């Protein structure tokens, strides 16, 4: 018998949960507080990693991927002066697709609706009651459901209802994102150095790093300036996790030691979109009663593993698979416990990896920088194809990378085929 599934949050994690559950024949309603036209207003890009592409294809989204994103061929790791330390060939790791957040959100939204989900925008949720299994809207409407999914991000209100004592950590780091038309980059002799044939370029410097990538499907070029030393104390609007800023003088000074191309991007920009990073770790549980958390709501991580979005998609696929035949409260609660048992060890390890990569990308001492660069220059990418996946292997080893890329939910013996 189909379940009534209510999802709080219409971002990528919530929408992929809607797709997964609706495809299994459940009655799915998504409640999103914003108007959908505001999703992805930062214009930032997202890399969908190899571990989730087979899931999306299984959901029939190959055509949507081709229309809204571009396959990534190579990634270069560079020093601030442009010296290339490492070039990664994605053919050695599997498919990865890059596109803008807004385009991906619209893509998943279309697929959710096509799968049978109902999406209610501009709808504010007051609270959830895990004991009664109900959701209460701000206008007083009570919504009953067999399953309530909190996919409302790192500042999750659903999480707050389940665990009032838990507080997510706002990190002393932030990203400043700038978008510019792609043709302005490719046709400019200075700005074109940002790509030089590489699909994406990651520039590493003490305390900072930059992620730059073209998004041809949207004719846009996305540059994300990540400052791992931008403390809450120095932020004039520390209470705002996200905001568009127009005074870029500080940004220009902060990156004045980088290549002329990056300085030119900031100089020409009229504004940048700031967002602060949050981390959600060590929750007492991922569920209570028939209410469960998913995506950033239960495991928001630092952005240095490229797995934040992917982890939410994996969550959705696992949860929907486990609940495909559930028909009672006891069945649901057992499945929620199994969901956490399957997902939490993987997510914990990825969070640790993301934290470690953040330190490595931004190391300061000349000795640490040289050791990092030397190790990366000696990486043999072809070993990834034949490596045995191992979550406990050293970070960046072929075995760990194989686990990250290939240990996907479709291959978990506890789940069978999605």
User: CA–CA separation, 164 vs 128, rounded Å?
Assistant: 12
Contacts of 236 (CB under 8 A, 6+ apart): none
Residue 418 has a pLDDT of 47
SS (HEC) of 80-113: CCCCEEEEEEHHHCCCCEEEEHHHHHHHHHHHHH
* pLDDT at 53 (0 to 100): 94
pLDDT (tens place) for every residue of the chain, 418 residues total = 899 999 999 999 999 999 999 999 999 999 999 886 665 456 788 999 999 999 999 999 999 999 999 999 889 999 998 899 998 888 778 889 999 999 999 999 999 999 999 999 999 999 999 989 999 999 999 999 999 999 999 999 999 999 999 999 999 999 999 999 999 999 999 999 888 666 799 999 999 999 999 999 899 999 999 999 999 999 999 999 999 999 999 999 999 999 999 999 999 999 999 999 999 999 999 999 999 999 999 999 999 999 999 999 999 999 999 999 888 788 999 999 999 999 999 999 999 999 999 999 999 999 999 999 999 888 777 778 888 999 999 998 989 999 999 756 655 555 554 4
For 210, the enclosing helix (H) or strand (E) is strand 208-215
Q: How far is Cα 125 from Cα 135, in angstroms, rounded to an integer? A: 7
DSSP state of 302: -
Tokens of 117: 């989900």
Measured between alpha carbons, how far is 152 from 313 in angstroms, rounded to an integer?
14
CB 223 within 8 A of CB 211: yes
* φ, ψ (nearest 5 deg) of residue 135: -120, 135
Which CATH architecture fits 4-71+96-167+280-362? 3-Layer(bba) Sandwich (3.50)
User: Would strands 84-89 and 74-78 be described as parallel, antiparallel, or unpaired?
Assistant: antiparallel
Q: What is the residue-wise DSSP string for 31-87?
A: E-SS-GGGTTTT--EEEEPTTTHHHHHHTT-HHHHHHH-EE--EEEEE-TT--EEEE
- pLDDT at site 135: 96
Cα separation, 111 vs 375, in Å, equals 42
State how beta strands 291-293 and 27-31 pair: unpaired
Domain boundaries, the chain: 4-71+96-167+280-362, 171-278
* CA–CA distance, 417 with 334 (Å, rounded to integer): 20
The helix or strand, by DSSP H or E, that contains position 203, with its residue range, turns out to be: strand 200-205
What pLDDT is attached to residue 197? 66
Listed residue (107, 91, 60, 7) closest to 319, CA to CA: 7
- What is residue 252's predicted lDDT score, i.e. its pLDDT? 95
Q: Two tokens at 135? A: 């959701």
Strands 70-71 and 97-100, sheet pairing: antiparallel
Q: Are 35 and 105 in contact (CB under 8 A)?
A: no
Asked if 16 contacts 63 with a C-beta cutoff of 8 angstroms, the reply is no
Tokens of residue 27, six digits: 């009655």
Write out the two tokens for 95: 């498919």
pLDDT score for 42:
61
**How large is the greatest C-alpha to C-alpha distance in the chain, in angstroms?**
64
By DSSP bridging, strand 27-31 and strand 118-120 are: parallel
Name the CA dihedral angle for 38, 39, 44, 48, rounded to a multiple of 10 degrees: -170
Cβ contact 122:93 at 8 Å: no
Residues 6+ apart with CB under 8 A from 69: 48, 97, 98, 99, 103, 104, 215, 217
């Amino acid at each position: 018998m189909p379940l009534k599934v209510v999802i709080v949050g219409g971002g990528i994690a919530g929408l992929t949960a809607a797709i997964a559950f609706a495809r299994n024949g459940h009655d799915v309603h998504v409640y999103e507080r914003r108007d959908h036209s505001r999703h992805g207003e930062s214009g930032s890009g997202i890399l969908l990693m190899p571990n989730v592409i087979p899931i999306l294809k299984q959901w029939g989204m190959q055509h949507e991927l081709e229309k809204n994103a571009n396959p990534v061929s190579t990634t270069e790791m560079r020093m601030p002066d442009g010296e290339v330390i490492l070039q990664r060939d994605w053919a050695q790791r599997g498919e990865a697709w890059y596109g803008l957040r807004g385009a991906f959100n619209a893509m998943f939204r279309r697929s959710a609706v096509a799968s049978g989900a109902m999406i209610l925008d501009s709808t504010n949720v007051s609270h959830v009651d895990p004991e009664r299994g109900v959701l209460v809207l701000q206008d007083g409407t009570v919504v009953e459901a067999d399953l309530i999914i909190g996919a409302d991000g790192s500042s999750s209100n659903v999480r707050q209802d389940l665990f009032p004592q838990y507080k997510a950590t706002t990190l002393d780091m932030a990203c400043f994102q700038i978008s510019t038309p792609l043709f302005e980059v490719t046709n400019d002799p200075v700005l074109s150095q940002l790509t030089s044939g590489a699909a994406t370029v990651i520039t590493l410097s003490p305390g900072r790093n930059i992620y730059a990538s073209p998004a041809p499907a949207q004719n846009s070029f996305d540059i994300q300036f990540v400052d791992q030393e931008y403390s809450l104390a120095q932020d004039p609007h520390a209470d705002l996790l996200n905001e568009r800023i127009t005074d870029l003088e500080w940004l220009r000074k902060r990156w004045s030691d980088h290549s002329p191309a990056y300085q030119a991007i900031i100089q020409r920009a009229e504004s940048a979109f700031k967002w602060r990073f949050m981390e959600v770790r060590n929750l007492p549980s991922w569920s209570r009663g028939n209410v469960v958390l998913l995506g950033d709501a239960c495991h928001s991580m630092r952005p240095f593993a490229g797995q934040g979005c992917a982890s939410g998609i994996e969550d959705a696929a696992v949860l929907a698979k486990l609940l495909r035949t559930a028909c009672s409260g006891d069945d649901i609660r057992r499945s929620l416990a199994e969901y956490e048992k399957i997902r939490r060890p993987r997510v914990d390890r990825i969070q640790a990896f993301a934290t470690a990569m953040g330190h490595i990308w931004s190391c300061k001492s000349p000795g640490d920088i040289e050791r990092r660069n030397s190790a990366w220059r000696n990486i043999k990418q072809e070993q990834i194809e034949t490596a045995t996946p191992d979550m406990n292997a050293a970070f960046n080893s072929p075995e760990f990378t194989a686990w990250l890329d290939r240990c996907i939910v479709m291959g978990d013996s506890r789940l069978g085929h999605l």
